[in-house]
Homo-oligomer: A and B are copies of this chain.
Amino acid sequence: MSLIVQKFGGSSVANAERVFNVARIVTETYDKGNDVIVVVSAQGDTTDELIEKAAEINPNPSKREMDMLLATGEQISIALLAMAIEKLGYPVVSLTGPQAGFLTDSSHSKARIRRIEKERMENELGKHNIVIVAGFQGMNRYGNITTLGRGGSDTSAVALAAAFHADLCQIYTDVDGIYTADPRIVPNAQKLEEITYDEMLELASLGANVLHNRSVEMAKKYNVNLEVVSSLEKKPGTKVKEVAKVEKMLIKGVARDNNIARISVVEVPDSPGVAFRLFAALAAKKIDVDNILQSIGREELKDISFTIAKDNLPEAVKVVESLKDSLNYKYYESTENISKVSIVGAGMKSNPGVAAKMFEALGDAGINIQMIFTSEIKITVLINKEESTRAVAAIHDAFMADLPH
């Protein structure tokens, strides 16, 4: 007998029919003799509707009250899913995040899980109940409801899998696994059977949009067997684990992120602490800087370029402008006409030809590379946004052409 954690996103429980679809997946797993913990998100647009209700009243509410409001979304889902499972005749109990023992810090709207008090859930599992848990939420030490922020339900599922030493943590989504590229852009993208945590982390941070980084980091830390699988079709998904099977491909995937912006600060006199002052000022405004490229220009003047999330551009520009005198730069540029395209794969470490092959594919397609960043298992280029779809297809073709379709 195994313990399996299954997580279902908002679209998987958007209406009564889909709730029953989830109920059937869960009860089939239970019928095979497994203990089952189920984590669900808020139904379809519920969270957006709640945010809209709040905005009508107060465009800038406290995060504590926002968490109080948003937590109702998952609470509705768990009750409805439990009712569907009752209808199918199985023993079931639903638990809010606080009831399930999720204790977090007090960072409302982006709380971190401190620990899970397991007693209540152990009790329910001991009674052979299917346990439905509200994802995305917990409680701080004062008994206030907190939410975990973006990707919170994935994180809830992985945290439960880690705490209860689950044999498997299945993330059900509307895609059926991790692909070598976005199938909407690259029609012959291939589904991966397995992928390592590190590869998944690089893909997720590049906008592959299937698993949130926090949950993958946690899975890696606690060695949780993850599987990304479709809630709509019965077929094998993609397994995420420490060491993946060696496959006949140099790279695991091509990813694109169009939600970025770039700022370049040009001709900064090269004195100690220049970069520190710039990035400390951005950090003080809670602006995450993604990639940084610093180049020595002419006459001991250097250029500093960096990328950030597009939403942060107006505030980042303000920060840069406020540092004009302090940094004594000549001018700055900013643009949203930019896209980040990357290839990821543990295999490229020992294959020096990978970068060359990527640049050749882009060159053949007539696509200009603005900047290049590399890490052990990833090569990223910045290009013009309107060329990004062609770029993904060209790179994918170059690396995957010899794979069976």
Binding site for B on A (CB under 8 A): 16, 19-20, 50, 53-54, 56-58, 61-62, 64-66, 68-69, 71-72, 75-76, 78-80, 82-84, 86-87, 93-94, 96, 99, 120, 143-145
- Knowing A61-B86, A143-B99, say if A79 contacts B94 (CB, 8 Å): no
A15: min CB distance to chain B, Å? 8
User: Which residues of chain B have C-beta atoms less than 8 A from A143's C-beta?
Assistant: 99, 120
In whole angstroms, how far apart are the Cα atoms of A331 and B143 in the complex?
60
- Knowing A50-B76, A65-B94, A72-B76, say if A20 contacts B57 (CB, 8 Å): yes
Cβ-neighbour of A69 out of B16, B80, B144, B145 (below 8 A) = B80
In whole angstroms, how far apart are the Cα atoms of A93 and B142 in the complex?
13
Q: Please classify the interface of chain A as helix (H, G, I), strand (E, B), loop, or mixed, using the class held by over half of its residues.
A: helix
**A65/B50 in contact, CB under 8 A:** no
Copies in the complex: 2
User: Which residues of chain B have C-beta atoms less than 8 A from A19's C-beta?
Assistant: 57
User: Which residues of chain B have C-beta atoms less than 8 A from A53's C-beta?
Assistant: 16, 76, 80
**A75/B68 in contact, CB under 8 A:** yes
**A62/B75 in contact, CB under 8 A:** no
A87: min CB distance to chain B, Å? 4
In whole angstroms, how far apart are the Cα atoms of A296 and B322 in the complex?
97
Q: Which of A19, A69, A143, A144 has the most CB of B within 10 A?
A: A69
Q: A53-B80, A64-B93 are in contact. List 9 more A-B contacts (CB 8 A).
A: A16-B53, A50-B76, A54-B83, A57-B83, A57-B84, A61-B82, A65-B86, A66-B83, A99-B143
User: Which residues of chain B have C-beta atoms less than 8 A from A20's C-beta?
Assistant: 57
Q: Which of A56, A58, A99 has the most CB of B within 10 A?
A: A58
Cβ-neighbour of A79 out of B68, B76, B79 (below 8 A) = B68
In whole angstroms, how far apart are the Cα atoms of A151 and B94 in the complex?
26
A80: min CB distance to chain B, Å? 6
**A86/B68 in contact, CB under 8 A:** no
Cβ-neighbour of A94 out of B68, B78, B87, B120 (below 8 A) = B68
**B75/A75 in contact, CB under 8 A:** yes
**B120/A56 in contact, CB under 8 A:** no
Cβ-neighbour of A58 out of B56, B57, B83 (below 8 A) = B83
